[in-house]
Amino acid sequence: MRRHLGERLSALIDGELNDAQRERVLAHLAKCEECRTEAAALRMLKRRMHTLGEAAAADALTWRLLALAPAAGEEQTGRWAMRAAHWPGWLPAAGQRRHAWSLVAAGLATAGLGLAAAVFLAGGDRPPGPRIVPAVDVFMVQHAITTGQVPVQPAGTPSPVLSTVP
């Protein structure tokens, strides 16, 4: 019974055989159609796998590098990097991200100023009680009485009234 190459085909395709082993494997392939077909299938599979593996590694590496060294001075946060690593297509372009940051900063500044104004206004007390204009003439009469004199008020004249400013 003729022995086929088996695992030696994979070793041949992977370049893991020395010269003597490779000569013997190739001599067998020259005489065995079945092993040649199997070797061709293995080679195609490896190529496809290699292609897929290169593409995936290239994208991951790119985003990891972006996370470590942001472009144009834009600092990438750990969260950005994590998102980039897990959802490579999620992030917008760098210019768009800078614009978004500006909007966020302006919004936070506006909110902060509004809050400070609210706190300042809330801290001010409206003077309690009615608005008063001192009835100084009336008070002076009382003071004069205290000092011993009673200013004359002719008969029939209405007394002054203490009032407030509405």
> Under the criterion CB under 8 A, does residue 145 sit at the interface with another protein?
yes
**Rounded (5°) CA angle 34-36-42:** 105
Please state the closest distance from residue 75 (CB atom) to another protein, in A.
Answer: 33
Binding of residue 151 to another protein (CB under 8 A): yes
Q: Which stretch binds another protein (CB under 8 A): 28-36, 55-63, 95-103, 154-162?
A: 154-162
Q: Which of residues 81-120 bind another protein (CB under 8 A)?
A: 116, 118-120
3-class SS of residue 1: coil
Given 15, 73, 78, 158, the residue binding another protein (CB under 8 A): 158
Residue 5: how many CB atoms within 10 A of its CB? 20
Q: How far apart are CA 142 and CA 135, in angstroms?
A: 11
Cα separation, 21 vs 25, in Å, equals: 6
- Contacts with another protein by CB under 8 A lie at 116, 118-125, 127-137, 139-165
